Amino acid sequence: MALTGMQIYKSLPKTNCKDCGVPTCMAFAMQVAAKQRALTDCPHVSEEGKSALSEASAPPQRLIKIGNDGKLFEFGQETVMFRHEEKFHRPAGVAVRVPASLSDADAGKLIDEINKRVFTRVGKDLKVALCAVEIETGDPAARAKLAADKSQAPLILVGSKPEAMKAAVGAVQGQRPLIYKADASNLEAFVEIAAGAKAPLAVAGASLEELADLTSKAKEKTEDLVLAFKGEGGETVRQLTIARRAALRKQFRPFGYPCIVEVEAEQAELETVMASIFAAKYAGIVMVSGVEPWELLPIMVTVQDVFTDPQVPNTVEARLYELGSPGDNAPVLFTTNFSLTYFSVAGEVERSKVPAYVCVVDTEGLGVLNAYAGDKISAEKVVKTIQAQKAADKVKHRKLIIPGLLPIFRAEIEDTSEWKEVVIGPENAREIPAFLQKWPNL
C-alpha cells in the first residue's frame, strides 16, 4: 500500500538540512509520497528507515545513472504519462552508434564528429548524450578504452558475448557504462558483469512477458536496469506505452525502469523520424546511426520541446540586450520575453551583422501575437519598458523598430514617447537580416 507523507516523515532525520535539495524533511517526505523522489535522495536516512520504507516508497520508475561526475547521463524516475499532468523530468538522450566494423582510426574520427555535434537552440546547448560503441571487434577492451578516452559523453557498450563484454567493462572500470544488452541467452553472465562493475544493465525480451520475467530475475542481483526495445515502428510505441503505464499506474515493478530504443530503419530520414517519435513516447534513450547535423538536430529539437516544463513560462529576462557592439547610431528594436521569440530575433540580428539594441518587454512568456491577444502588451507598456531600460541614453537617434505584427502601436508610441520615428519591422524574424541591411535608411 502507498505510504503517506507523514509515515515517511517519521523515518527521516527531521533536521531540515536541505541536502536533498528541498527546504524541509516534511517537504521531502511529501515528494517521496507523491513518487517524485526516491527515499535514497536523502543521504542521512538511517538503514532502519530505509529497510522499513524502501520498497513501499520506491518511485514507480527507477532513476538510472550512466557514467560518472565528469560524463553523466541520468534518466528515469518519470512520474506521468502525459506532459500536461505535471511535466516530464529528464530529457531523452540521443546515443550514436560507433560500429564494430570501423578501424580504430575511423572509430576515433567518428567519435570526434560526435563530440562536435553541439547545437544552440533557445539559449540551450543540445548535444549527443551517449556514445554507443560496439565492442565485439578484435579487441573489445581496446575499443572500449578508445571510446572512453575520446568520447565527451558517457558510454554504452554494445555486445552480446559475455567474455567480450567482461573485457570491455574491465577496460573502463569506474566509468559506469550502460551494458547493452542482456537477453534470455546471456542474462546470468551479463548480470554478474553488471553487478560486479556496479554498472547499469539493459535487458531485452522477445515479448513483454519475457522482459518482465528477465528483469525480475536480474533484480535479485542488480537494481540498475534499463528496458531495451528494438525500434521498428508502431509496435515499439505500443510496447513502450504499455511498459510505462504498467510501471506508473499499476506499480508493476518488473517494468519500473527507463527504456532504451535501438532505432532500426533502412533510410536515414526514417531513422530520424522514428527516433523523434520514440523519444516523445517513451524512450529515455534513442540509439541511432546517423551523425549528420540534419539527422540529429530534429530529434534533439523534438526532445527539447517535449521535455520543456509546461508549467514554467519559457522566458528570458526583460532587459535591454546589446547584440554585437552597438554604438550610439545602432538600431533599437523591441520584442517579447518568450524565449523562442527572443532567441529568434537575437539570432537573426546577429546573422545580419548589424549590431543592435533589443528591448525585451515582459509579456509573461508569450510571443508577440499571443501577448497582444491576451492583453499582455500594449503601446503604453512598450513605452514604459523602453524608458525604464534607458534605451534613449544609448543612442543619438530616436528611431524605433517595432515588430511587423504590431503596426497598430506606431501612432501611440510616436505620440507618447521620445521615439518620434517608429519604423514597422518585419513580421517574421527571418526577414530581419535583409531589413537591417538598409539601416539607417529605413
Interface with ligand SF4 by CB under 6 A: which residues?
Answer: 12-13, 15-20, 25, 28, 42, 44
Task: Provide, rounded to whole angstroms, the least separation between the CB of residue 45 and ligand SF4.
Answer: 6
Looking at the Cβ atoms of 44 and 230, the one nearer to ligand SF4 is: 44
Q: Which is nearer to ligand SF4, 43 or 234 (CB)?
A: 43
Q: Grid cell 518511485 — which residue?
A: 59
Q: Which is nearer to ligand SF4, 18 or 319 (CB)?
A: 18
Question: Least distance (Å) from ligand SF4 to the CB of residue 3?
Answer: 15
- Among residues 17 and 34, whose Cβ is nearest to ligand SF4? 17
The minimum distance between CB 27 and ligand SF4, in angstroms, equals 8
Give the residue with the Cβ less far from ligand SF4, 41 or 348: 41
Q: Which is nearer to ligand SF4, 41 or 134 (CB)?
A: 41
Write down the least CB distance from residue 37 to ligand SF4, Å. 9
Nearer to ligand SF4, 45 or 406 (CB): 45
* Least gap, CB of 16 to ligand SF4 (angstroms): 5
Nearer to ligand SF4 by Cβ, of 42 and 275: the residue is 42
Residues 194 and 179: their CA atoms lie apart, in Å, by 7
Min. distance of Cβ 44 from ligand SF4 in angstroms? Answer: 5
Residue 17 or residue 442: which is nearer to ligand SF4 going by CB? 17
CA distance linking residue 243 with residue 214, whole number of Å: 14
Q: Cα angle at 344 between 338 and 349, to 5 degrees?
A: 125
Q: Which residues pair with 299 in a beta bridge?
A: none
Q: How many alpha carbons fall within 13 Å on the CB side of residue 242?
A: 13
Work out how close the CB of 10 gets to ligand SF4 at its nearest, in angstroms, rounded to a whole number.
12
Q: What distance in Å separates the CA atoms of residue 241 and residue 283, rounded to the nearest whole number?
A: 9
DSSP secondary structure, 52-113, as one string: HHHHHHS-SS-EEEEE-SSSEEEEE----SSGGGS---S--EEEEEE-TTS-HHHHHHHHHH
Identify the helix (H) or strand (E) that includes residue 2.
none
How far is Cα 124 from Cα 94, in angstroms, rounded to an integer? Answer: 16
CB of residue 1 to ligand SF4, shortest distance in Å: 22
Q: How many Å apart are CA 130 and CA 286, to the nearest integer?
A: 10
CB of 34 to ligand SF4, least distance (A): 14
Contact 83, 306 (CB under 8 A): yes
Query: What's the angle, vertex CA 321, arms to CA 317 and CA 324, rounded to 5?
Result: 145
CA dihedral defined by 154, 225, 89, 61, rounded to 10 degrees? -170
Query: Alpha-carbon torsion 402, 406, 410, 413, what sign?
Result: negative
